[in-house]
Amino acid sequence: MRIVILVLVIVFVLLQFKLWLGEGGFRDVAQLETRVETQQLKNDDLLQRNAELRAEVEDLRERLEAVEERARSELGLIKPAEEFYQVVPAPSEDKKADNKNGDGA
């Protein structure tokens, strides 16, 4: 009878070991749950980005003003009757000093 109990205890310990530390055990499940949560956050971010891009595409398809605004801001386009003025910032004090010293930069 002692041998049967000893064998059952050994089997029980081995099963517990596999359950807690073995492949597919609680540790692996916890790691997989963490990975699933991380992936879900990434998916949510990508869904938000897709929604924004979809809205922007619809806006460009439906509104001519949106296309014009984008062309002006990104491509620097102007209408034929408009005049373009470019404002150049004044040089900083360091650059003025370099020019006086003959660097020619």
- What is the identity of the amino acid at 2? R
First to last CA, the chain: 98
Mean pLDDT, residues 41-51 taken together = 97
Q: What is the CA radius of gyration of the chain?
A: 34
Q: Assess whether pLDDT exceeds 60 at residue 58.
A: yes
Structure tokens, 1: 């009878």
| 12-43 pLDDT, tens digit each | 888 887 777 777 778 888 899 999 999 999 99
> Can you give the pLDDT at residue 43?
98
pTM value? 0.48
> Can you give the pLDDT at residue 33?
94
Q: How confident is the model at residue 97 (pLDDT cuts 50, 70, 90)?
A: low
